[in-house]
Structure 1
Amino acid sequence: MTPEAASAEAEKICRLAPVVPVLVVHDASIARALAEALVAGGLPALEVTLRTPAALDVIREMAKVEGGVVGAGSILTPAAVTAVVAAGAKFGVSPGATDTVLSAAEQADLPMLPGAATASEVMALLERGYRVQKFFPASINGGAPAIKAIGAPIPDVMFCPTGGVTPENAPEYLSMKNIICVGGSWVAPQNLIDAKDWKAIEELAREAASLRG
């Protein structure tokens, strides 16, 4: 998969809903129910971060949910690319970007949402062919004003800001022309996951899905 094709596929996934849930899941046994709640609420694209020992099993379970598009976040190495593809991930997300990780993803036909936080990083990814990028960590790197400023001289790039995005500031991000969606963890808070309150999570997802238009 070429970088251009990978980025085009990532754009399709990002356009499925205004919010991509960023999920840290410790127990694979609840993965399917969690995914079903989020998809039912209108958030089909799900990012499972590789921050727990259960992450690959979580991806395997969520990949079984009809209507869901499950991806892997916190991809740092080529080995992680291989592992998430084997687990059924349909896209990958990385906090930054390296040539080795991007090359591995391209060879594995895994659409990537690579991370950038500076104009130089954005330009380097665009030069490679990635028009859709993750802006991370968004809040401490200037938030919406920073993305607007970068977008002025680099208008061809679309961003999914993640890191410090909340229901309160998400509308500001989503009102901008160069924001394709946002990533956020608030739609699946740990207390509701622990309580297995899938109805409450579905409602949070429904509220998030209505943030844009």
Structure 2
Amino acid sequence: MQTKLASDTIEMICRTSPIITTPTLANAADAAPLAQALTRGRLPVIQISIRARNAAAVIREMAQVPDAIVGAGMILSPDDVRRARDAGAKFCSTPGITDSLLRYFDGIELPLLPGVATPTEAMHLLSRGYTTLNYFPGGSMGTVETLRAMRQPLPQLRLSVAGDIALEAAADYLALPNVLSVASDCVVPAAMIEAHDWEAITTNARGFSQTKP
């Protein structure tokens, strides 16, 4: 996929949901009800780790929900990409990137949110035409300050921040002008999924759907 088109598509996806939810589901039967609850709450972008045992089944169920935009995260190899695409994923994200994986995505029609952790990695991806990147890992001390500092030398960069990001910290990231979204499971606690409390998840989602200033 042409990199500018891929990056523009990813930017549009990230702007659709300030919180990209990253739930872990023990039972794939919960996938569609959860996706429905999140889309009702105006957070339609959902990312499922391809490392999960039932990832393909969960993506497949969620992908059938109208308006849900379901992607696969933690992509490490072309085999992971093929599993994600076959299950119906609309995009992929990686925790880091290699030239061989970039070349693979060049040859397929699936948008990529490539992972970075340093300005050097970001500059390499910018040289390839990627302007919307996945900053990983987020959530650690000093990350907000790091991302704020990156904006000065790299003002064209747009970021989704992924990692162990608590509910109360999400707004700090989203307040940064170079951050489009946060990928986190903070909106969908495992206890709510286990209790099938879809209405509470919808309420949570609505509360965060307007988080981005």
Per the normalisation by structure 2, the TM-score is 0.95
SS of the residue 1:159 aligns to: strand
Residue in 1 aligned with 2:73? Answer: 73
Counting aligned pairs with the same residue, the percent is: 38
SS of the residue 2:163 aligns to: coil
Correspondences of 1:44-193 after superposition (within 5 Å): 44-140=44-140, 142-193=142-193
Equivalent AA in structure 1 for residue 91 of structure 2: F
Task: Tell which deviates more after alignment, 163-172 or 31-40.
Answer: 163-172
Cα deviations across residues 119-169 of structure 1 (Å, max 9, x unaligned)?
111111111111000111112273211001111111111011111322212
Q: Distance in 2 between matches of 1:54 and 1:173?
A: 30
Equivalent AA in structure 1 for residue 201 of structure 2: I
Q: Distance in 1 between matches of 2:120 and 2:92?
A: 22
After TM superposition, the runs of 4+ consecutive aligned structure 1 residues lying more than 4 A away are none
Distance change (3 Å), C-alpha of 1:100 and 1:25: farther
Equivalent AA in structure 2 for residue 33 of structure 1: P
RMSD: 1.3
Q: Distance in 2 between matches of 1:158 and 1:187?
A: 22
Do 2:42 and 2:206's aligned partners in 1 also have CA atoms closer than 8 Å? Answer: yes
Cα deviations across residues 160-195 of structure 1 (Å, max 9, x unaligned)?
111132221222211211111111111111111111
Structure 1 spans left out of the alignment, 5+ residues:
none
Q: Distance in 2 between matches of 1:181 and 1:126?
A: 19
Q: Distance in 2 between matches of 1:101 and 1:194?
A: 36
Do 1:116 and 1:134's aligned partners in 2 also have CA atoms closer than 8 Å? Answer: yes
Paired residues, what number?
A: 213
Distance change (3 Å), C-alpha of 1:86 and 1:141: farther
Q: Distance in 2 between matches of 1:203 and 1:27?
A: 22
Residue in 2 aligned with 1:199? Answer: 199
Structure 2 spans left out of the alignment, 5+ residues:
none
